[in-house]
Structure 1
Amino acid sequence: MGNLLSLNSFYTTPPEAGQALPPVQINWPNGAYVISNSGDADACLSESVGRPVKLTTTRPEEVSLERMDPLEAEETILDIGEIMMEGRFSDYAAIHMLTTASLAHLTSLSPGINFEAGRFRPNLVIESAAGREGFVEKDWGGKTVAIGDEVRLKISDPTPRCLIPTQAQYGGIEKNTKVLRAIVEHNRLPVPLLDNEVLPCVGVYGFVLQGGSIRKGDTIRVE
């Protein structure tokens, strides 16, 4: 993996609906950067990762994922081509979301560990209503989450966690192996996607039923 998690990126111009996505600028902690469609991008990323890699906008037919088993501390190769969305590079669903209630609950169970949302790399962080405590989203499977006036997401599975949340990452997030140990101890759930294997989970996966704009402060409803 090299120092890949220390990088960050942003679109060079705002994306527009119905148009091809613009290139992204990839930034290194030392201030260096490269544009994704430049001739230097592959070489720069290969150096950071420590092996030859290539940026592509076309997903290959066969896709495998190198994943460290969080319970066995062993590397496994998973064939995930059948569960990935067509034309997408995400592991499974279009959206990963988690709640502030879950993060607060982990903190209360394991004081002294920083469970900042960025560790878990969600698309959406949902601020839980006052009085809602615990791993509230674990009961959302099969339900619909409505966001604002437009967006509706179908919740499928809890999100199983690998070793990534324990690693140092962009934004000043420090390495801490205790993060995953706490999740293993306090929130292991059956994951339907993986034949109901019981795994450490934080957050949930969602598929887009109805698209639209999401704005900070939008009301969230679970139906």
Structure 2
Amino acid sequence: MSTGTVAALRRYPVKSMLGEVLESVRVTEQGLSGDRVFAVLDEEAGTVGSAKHPRKWGALLRCRSRLTGSGAARVELPDGTALHSGEAELDKRLSELLGRRVSVSDSPPETGGGVLERAVPEYEGGVPDIVRQRAFTDGTGETITSGRVAAGTFFDYGKVHLVTTASLERLLAVHPAGDFDARRFRPNLVVDVPGGGPGFPEDAWPGGALRIGEVLFRVTVPTPRCVVPTLAHEELPADPGIMRTVAREHRVPVLTLGRLSCLGVYLDVLEPGTVRVGDTVTVPHSA
């Protein structure tokens, strides 16, 4: 059964930096080729840089990363300077930008996962209640929680992230003053699903399969949202109303974590291949 078409493909070679738009991409069991293969690490604290803690790492969203033909990351800094991963000057300039000693690494922890800090949002469903109870205030004055990236990767959880145009349009309809540009939610796949339905069509997908181009995906869980969609992205201004709207309109059960504010779904890769803009998204009869 046809569900929609791929409207956009994006990858983010350096975690929490702006990424690049693609027309096609190879997808392996580890996700989109070149996606989140680098991260900025705090040399002293050992934490993984993530804009989920905006006071500490928000400046990463003012940088853009692209993958080069040799597999390095080309990073464009806020002043337009372009440097490559592995260059000492890049680490120096990022350290100056962030106010702490950092380096760009392509070596995620093999076991245990690197420490990942997240600001605790004020809106309901931003974090599980049990996690909110363990929150603490750090040196920046921000209330945060601390977790870990998935072992052997720089992913928070899912390997591939998908959002639908139908869900974005549903949110815009109830908060027309907001700009629900897909870029705010940092998806790998934006799927154009024809309107006219109840909205949030991906709610019915977890546990099933999606065929997108050559690739067969398993839909795992809804994607819980953090503060990142409220931050400025390129020309999109900061807008706290974005996540307040998600929290009001779409809190759904996620595993055993309770009802969380979600948009989109995470995918695992069952059969690798290539995905292209314009590919049809189908639900196989055997799913």
Q: TM-score, normalised to structure 1's length?
A: 0.87
Alignment partner of 1:66 is 2:117: yes
1:57 to 106, 111, 128: 106
Identity of aligned residues (%): 37
More strand by share: 2
| Equivalence for 1:212 | 273
Shift of 1:124: 0.4
Q: Which runs of 5+ in 2 are unaligned?
A: 1-56, 127-141
| Equivalence for 1:101 | 166
Shift of 1:2: 4.2
SS at match of 2:229: helix
Q: Distance between the aligned counterparts of 1:214 and 1:132, measured in 2?
A: 26
Shift of 1:147: 0.5
Q: Distance between the aligned counterparts of 2:92 and 2:232, measured in 1?
A: 23
| Equivalence for 2:230 | 166
Q: Look up the equivalent residue of 1:213 and give its one-letter code.
A: T
Alignment partner of 1:197 is 2:258: yes
| Equivalence for 2:145 | 77
| Equivalence for 2:243 | 180
SS at match of 1:3: helix
Q: Distance between the aligned counterparts of 2:229 and 2:104, measured in 1?
A: 24
Q: Distance between the aligned counterparts of 1:99 and 1:143, measured in 2?
A: 16
SS at match of 2:203: helix
Shift of 1:214: 0.6
Summarize deviations over 1:126-155 as a string: whole Å, max 9, x none.
00034344111122110111102x201111
| Equivalence for 2:19 | none
Moved over 4 A (4+): none
Confirm or deny: 8 A CA contact 2:209 2:218 kept in the other structure. Answer: yes
Q: Quick check: 119-128 or 57-66, which moved more?
A: 57-66
Q: Distance between the aligned counterparts of 1:75 and 1:151, measured in 2?
A: 40
Q: Per the alignment, do residues 197 and 76 of structure 1 end up closer, same or farther by CA in structure 2, a change over 3 Å counting?
A: farther
Summarize deviations over 1:148-170 as a string: whole Å, max 9, x none.
2x201111111111101100123
Summarize deviations over 1:160-215 as a string: whole Å, max 9, x none.
11101100123x121001001101110011111xx232111110000111111111
1:125 to 183, 190, 197: 190
Aligned residues: 209
Greater relative contact order (CA < 8 Å, ≥ 6 in sequence): 2
Shift of 1:12: 2.0
Q: Distance between the aligned counterparts of 1:12 and 1:31, measured in 2?
A: 17
Q: TM-score, normalised to structure 2's length?
A: 0.69
Confirm or deny: 8 A CA contact 1:66 1:75 kept in the other structure. Answer: no
